[in-house]
A = this chain, B = another copy of it.
Amino acid sequence: MKFNGKNISLGKNVKLGKNVRIGDNTVIYDNVEIADNSIICNNCIIGEPTKDYYTNKNYKNPKTKIGINSLIRSHSIIYASVETGSNFSTGHRVIIREKSKFGDYCMIGTMSDIQGYVKFGNYCRLHSSVHICQHSEIGNFVFIYPFVVFTNDPHPPSTVWKGPKIGNFTQIAVSSIINSGVKVGNNCLVAANSFIKTNMPDFTVFAGSPAKNISDIRTIKSKQISGMHYPWMKNFRKGMPWEKIGFDKWQKKKGNG
C-alpha cells in the first residue's frame, strides 16, 4: 500500500528517473531530481523549502538531488538544496536540512537530525537519533550511534560557529558529544558517553567526560575473532565495498594499500 499514487503532490520541474516509486501522501517540491530506481516511501517531504518561502514572494526553490538506488523511508523530510550520492538510505522521520551533501552509500537512521550545511563522505552510517550540527564535516566509513550530538558553538550563544571534523573509518559510540571545532582523526574510537573537547590523533581511543586518550585502538582484543578487533574493516564486511573480497584485497585493488 505504499505505492498507489494516492494523494501525491509534485511541484514544478520535478524530474523522476526510471523505476522511481513514490509513496502515498508524499510531497515533492519544485526542482527536485530523483535518480533511477529510487524509492520514496509514504508521507515524505522532498525539497522542503527554507524559511524564505513564507515571506519572500519571489522565493525560488533551489535544486535538490537524490542519487540512484536510494531508499527514503516514511515520514522523512529532506530540505531543498540537499544532494545525496547513490544508494542513499534513511530510516523513518529523518530530517535533513538545507545545504547538506552526502557521498555514496550513506545510511541515516530513524529520527536522526542533520541540521544542514554539512558534508558527508561515502559509506557513512548514522544509527537512530543522531544530531549533527551545522558546519560538520564527516569523512568516509564513519559510523555514529544513538544520541550522539555534534556541537558548533564554543560559548552558547555566539556567532562563531565551527563544526567538528571527523576522519575516515572512525566510530563514535552512543551518547557522546563532539565539541565545536574538534578534529577527530582517522581510525579512531570515541567510547560511549564521552565528551570530546580536544583533537583526537589517528588510531586513538578516547573515553570520559572530558574525554582522555585511553589507548591505541589496535590494542583492543576482539570478541569475534582471536586477535585484535581494530581496524574494524578486517572484521566487518556487511554492506561495505569489501564485502566479497575482504578489506585487504579491496584496498590493494584500489591502490590504497
A7 to B25 Cα, complex, angstroms: 10
Contact B177 A177 (CB under 8 A): no
Q: Is the CB of A159 within 8 A of B236?
A: yes
Q: Enumerate chain B residues within 8 angstroms of A173, measured Cβ to Cβ.
A: 151, 156
Give the CA-CA distance A127 to B71 in the complex, in Å. Answer: 28
Given A54-B71, A93-B93, A129-B131, also A157-B174 (CB < 8 A): no
Task: Name which of A80-88, A221-229, A249-257 contacts chain B.
Answer: A221-229
A149 and B175 in contact, given A1-B9, A75-B75, A192-B195 (Cβ under 8 angstroms): yes
Query: How far apart are A26's CB and chain B's nearest CB, in angstroms?
Result: 11
Kindly state the separation between the CA atoms of A27 and B6 in the bound complex, as whole angstroms: 12
Flag whether A74 is at the interface (Cβ < 8 A): yes
Decide if A145 touches B155 in the complex (CB within 8 Å): no
User: Which of A1-56 touch B at CB < 8 Å?
Assistant: 1, 4, 6-7, 9, 11, 24-25, 27, 29, 39, 42-43, 45, 48, 54
Chain B residues within 8 Å of A43, by CB: 43
| A171 engages B157 (CB within 8 Å) | yes
Q: A42-B27, A110-B113 are in contact. Are A171 and B156 (CB under 8 A)?
A: yes
Identical copies in the complex = 3
Q: How distant is the Cα of A45 from the Cα of B158 in the complex, in angstroms?
A: 34
Q: A160 CA to B179 CA in the complex, in Å? A: 30
- By a CB distance below 8 angstroms, the chain B residues around A155 are 220, 222-224, 229-230, 232
Q: A99-118 CB contact bits vs B (8 Å, 1 = yes)?
A: 00000000000110101000
> Would you give the 0/1 interface string for A153-178, flagging 1 where the beta carbon is closer than 8 Å to chain B?
01111111000000000010111010
The contact sample of 5 A-B pairs, CB cut-off 8 A, is: A111-B113, A155-B224, A157-B232, A158-B223, A193-B209
Question: 12 new A-B pairs (CB below 8 Å) besides A1-B9, A143-B156, A156-B171?
Answer: A9-B24, A75-B75, A95-B110, A95-B111, A111-B111, A115-B128, A131-B147, A147-B149, A157-B232, A157-B236, A158-B236, A177-B193
* A interface residues, Cβ below 8 angstroms from B: 1, 4, 6-7, 9, 11, 24-25, 27, 29, 39, 42-43, 45, 48, 54, 71, 74-75, 77, 92-93, 95, 110-111, 113, 115, 128-129, 131, 143, 145-147, 149, 151, 154-160, 171, 173-175, 177, 179, 192-193, 195, 208-209, 220, 222-224, 229-230, 232, 235-236, 238
